[in-house]
Structure 1
């Protein structure tokens, strides 16, 4: 049974999400603050996390950063903050999706289903090896020059999608659809942020990438 951890200090939202998720077969636990949420996540690793940014003890981005120290579970941010800077900050910290309040329950549940589907990417190569870095999809480990590198769940999905299509152009629309979902076909800034992160983490010279290549206005190409 898929375990969803809901972190929100609004009792009405927690109650609504618990009822709707349980009705669809999910196991659900809720937490009203960041510290108790992190304790729950450590003791019982969730499959999906729903995270409000405005928590009473820790900022949601802080919770996300701490969560990413031990968990690769997809995180859906649920927030009243509508600014693009807030979205980019959350995505940059390791969030996989961003839903603004108020939200439609049908759309929210579709976002949860999408994240559950994406936790098991099919047809990915077992590993990618270059002169400077290695990514092992089975072991979920990455190294650069022999040193471990931590990739976020979203970064893993981007690398997997590009690695399944070596030397082939993968369009911006395909990446956005497969990684974030169909409603994100215009958010090309997400791609710029994440590809820049991947280059900093894996490329020997991020300013002159050899493996994660941008095709301006079209998409990206992975060159082994």
Structure 2
């Protein structure tokens, strides 16, 4: 499956160039032309990487980066025409993973994108995912909380893994359905709510604090 990338840049010409070029390289690319639109697309699309311009009206790139870092660890490549050391430090200090100065060679952009995606892929090969006092064992496909082993069905495991791979990020209901049940799922309309209920029963069996929270009208979020 092609890695999903969101480009956030108010320069329509540059954004279009990146979209066409990266699509040709085999990526699934969406474009947003301002920070607010970009944040909404990230919530809806759950991309593997964000390419982010710094200088934008309204919510600028630095603020977008701060918000993304507050809610998760999605890889961020900043692109900007400002190339002073202080500008680069500001971008990296807000949480960007890499920093590319305009104008840039498209080949360098692709190389940096691939490097960031490889780094993320390597991080995801670990055998355990941890959040708060909950550990997900990818080998045995089970969970452990307070030294208690929690057996999970295939669907329960896939759903919990999605939440734990995206801690503190609100996941839209439609996106969860797509990721866990697939595009063409024709089952019960409340199947997601049912499986969230199953997970809560298992994770909270000994009165532990709730980790999977409902965000009314939007979806769910894993947080303490």
TM bucket by the smaller chain? 0.5 to 0.7
Aligned partners of 1:124 and 1:137 also within 8 Å: no
> Secondary structure at the residue paired with 1:40?
helix
Larger Rg: 2
Are 2:109 and 1:108 aligned?
yes
Counterpart for residue 142 of structure 2: none
Are 2:4 and 1:9 aligned?
no
Give, in whole Å, the separation in 2 of the partners of 1:110 and 1:53: 20
Give, in whole Å, the separation in 1 of the partners of 2:15 and 2:129: 40
User: Runs in 1 of length 4+ with deviation above 3 angstroms?
Assistant: 122-128, 136-139
Counterpart for residue 206 of structure 2: none
Counterpart for residue 82 of structure 1: 83
Cα distance, 1:127–1:51 mapped onto 2, change above 3 Å: closer
Counterpart for residue 96 of structure 1: 97
Residue deviations 1:48-85, cap 9 Å, x none?
A: 10000001111211110112222321100000011111
Q: Given the two structures, how large is their TM-score scaled by the length of structure 1?
A: 0.55
Counterpart for residue 34 of structure 2: 33
Q: Given the two structures, how large is their TM-score scaled by the length of structure 2?
A: 0.55
Residue deviations 1:80-122, cap 9 Å, x none?
A: 0111111111111110000000000001100000011010226
Counterpart for residue 178 of structure 1: none
Residue deviations 1:14-72, cap 9 Å, x none?
A: 11101111111111111111001001101111111000000111121111011222232
Cα distance, 1:127–1:45 mapped onto 2, change above 3 Å: closer
Counterpart for residue 59 of structure 1: 60
**Structure 1 residue 137: Cα displacement:** 9.7
Counterpart for residue 24 of structure 1: 25
Counterpart for residue 70 of structure 1: 71
How many positions carry a matched residue from both structures? 135
Residue deviations 1:185-206, cap 9 Å, x none?
A: xxxxxxxxxxxxxxxxxxxxxx
Aligned partners of 1:2 and 1:26 also within 8 Å: yes
Give, in whole Å, the separation in 1 of the partners of 2:90 and 2:55: 14
Aligned partners of 1:45 and 1:71 also within 8 Å: no
- RMSD of Structure 2 on Structure 1 (CA): 2.5
Q: Which aligned pairs between 1:52-201 and structure 2 lie closer than 5 A?
A: 52-121=53-122, 126=128
